[in-house]
Structure formats: C-alpha cells, structure tokens
Amino acid sequence: MTYWFQQILNALQLSSIYGLIALGYTMVYGILTMINFAHGDVFMVGAFFCFIAAVMLGLPFLPTLLLTILGTALLGTTIERVAYKPLRQAPRVSAIITALGVGIFLENFTLALAPYPQHIPPLLDNITWTLGGVTLSSLQLIIIVLSLGLMFLLDYIVYRTPVGMAMRAISWDKTFVPLMGVPVDSIISITFAIGAGLAGAAGAMYGLAYPVIDPYMGIMVGWKAFIAAVVGGIGNIRGAMIGSFILGTVEIMVVAFFPSTYRDFVAFTLLLLLIVIRPYGILGQPRTQKV
C-alpha cells in the first residue's frame, strides 16, 4: 500500500501539469473549433521565461511564477492577433498549418537565443516529509495544490462569471452572439491569454520539478496534453482535467510496474480503446448542426 500511495502522489504531480496544458487546448477548441498546435511550444516558452526570471533576474518563486504567467498570456494574445485572427474565415487547414508554423518558429527562436539544455535552479527549499513510508516533498505539494487551484479558478471563471458566460455563448453559436452585444474579439483574446497563462504556469512548475529545459520539450508534452483533452472531451473544461489525470496515472503506473519503454505504448493503447468506446470523450457531447 505504501508503494501504491507513493505512485499516486507521483501521478498527481504529472497529471496536474498535463491538466494545465490540456485546458488551453480545450478552451481554444471550444470557442473556435480550432486545434492550437503551437500550445505545447507556449508551455516550453513558459519554462524559458521561468529560467530568465530565476537565473538572469534572480527573482524568487512567486514573482517568477507571476512573470511567467503574464509573459505567456501576452504571448498567447499576440499569437492569436497576429497569426490566427486573419484566418478565422479561411479553411481550417490554413489555421492548422499556421499553428504548426508558429510552433516551429517558437522552437527555433528559443534555440537561437542560447545553447541548450539549460538548468533552472531550485527556487524553494525542498522539504521532505515521510508519513507511513510515503515521501512527500514541499515542491510536489506546491505543484499539486497550485495546479488544482488554477483549475478550479478557471472552472469558476467559465461557469460563474460574465466572461465565462460570454465564452460559453460564443462556443454555442458565434454567429449570433455579436448581435447580443458580446465583444467576440476581446473574449477570444482573453481565452487565448488564459490558456497560454495556464501553459506558462505548467512550464514553470515542470521546469522546477524536472529542471532541464530545451526548445523541443513542449512537443511530446503538448501532444500528450492534447490527447488528454480529447479523451476527456475536447471543448469541455472538466473533461480535460479528467483526461489529464487518467493519462498521468496510467503513465506513472506503467513505469512503476513495467519497463519504462512500455509507458507510451500502454498509455496510448488504453486511451485509444477509450476513444473507440467513447468517440466524443468522457464528458464530450456530439454537436448537432441544423441545415
């Protein structure tokens, strides 16, 4: 039982990071029905912002986290305004190609700034507690609590605030929402800012937990978060959280009981079977279109 509880804690840490990234995918898809394939690289830039704040500016943990969130939120808004807004009426394949291009640009721009990999120094005194044979570190606790707090805060914004009501209205029917006085462009920019900010927070916490960063770290992590969003029901905030915790738990449990080389094979096989059983995801619903 001690070993199981230890692995559950590890799964919570990894799933929390996946969840913050998956929320950005599902928010953008819910409003624009578009997959922002550059989102994983925004996560990578968040880790790079954390490196700048911690190493070059010498800031402590909380200012570093806030600077990372603000920096990636601004980056997400800029990407939406410059790259995606002109393509809203274009074929979807144009937006997909643009998103891939933005991701490649972010990777190579970051690579050109400095040699990699880089190391983020510890910003917190990592205290370790042992309870009944289960080891819990303060960094692990901060990552889990902070990630869950951000997830619940986003859930509150989406379902309990006027901005969230506008987001859900645009997701339901973006054609008639402007007639009701909803500033569509502003709400879309806010959506990108929130999603990118969450990815930046994930990048900062990932950089502290696994302190080696490089320009290509967001590719695989971004794909896994996207898959988690699809499993939970792309476009559904709570579904993205559930899918992320399923993926993170499966990955950790596979590594705990099998060779690590089986991790992606077993995890993606199980998720593929789940998609076959639930094509729209765990909480996803098919959209009916009147013609």
Predicted confidence at residue 4, as pLDDT, reads 85
> In the block, which residue shows the tokens 């998103």?
99
List alpha helices for 38-82, DSSP H. 39-51, 61-79
Sign of CA dihedral 284, 286, 290, 291: positive
* Regions in the chain scoring below 50 on pLDDT: none
Residue 5 and residue 193 in contact, taking contact as beta carbons nearer than 8 Å: no
Predicted confidence at residue 193, as pLDDT, reads 95
Q: How far, in Å, CA of 114 to CA of 225, rounded? A: 27
Task: For the chain, give every domain's residue range.
Answer: 2-223
Predicted confidence at residue 288, as pLDDT, reads 62
Predicted confidence at residue 176, as pLDDT, reads 82
DSSP state of 160: H
- Return the number of other C-beta atoms located less than 10 Å from residue 216's C-beta: 15
Predicted confidence at residue 121, as pLDDT, reads 85
Q: CA end-to-end span of the chain, whole Å?
A: 56
Predicted confidence at residue 42, as pLDDT, reads 96
Partners of 134 in the β-ladder: 131
Q: How far, in Å, CA of 83 to CA of 218, rounded? A: 19
**What size, in residues, is the chain?**
291
Long-range contacts of 5-10 (CB under 8 A, 24+ apart): 5/132, 5/134, 6/133, 6/134, 6/135, 7/252, 7/253, 7/256, 8/249, 9/134, 9/136, 9/140, 9/144, 10/252
Predicted confidence at residue 182, as pLDDT, reads 86
Residues 6+ apart with CB under 8 A from 27: 167, 191, 194, 195, 237
Predicted confidence at residue 113, as pLDDT, reads 83
Return the SS3 of 119: strand
Predicted confidence at residue 287, as pLDDT, reads 64
Partners of 197 in the β-ladder: none
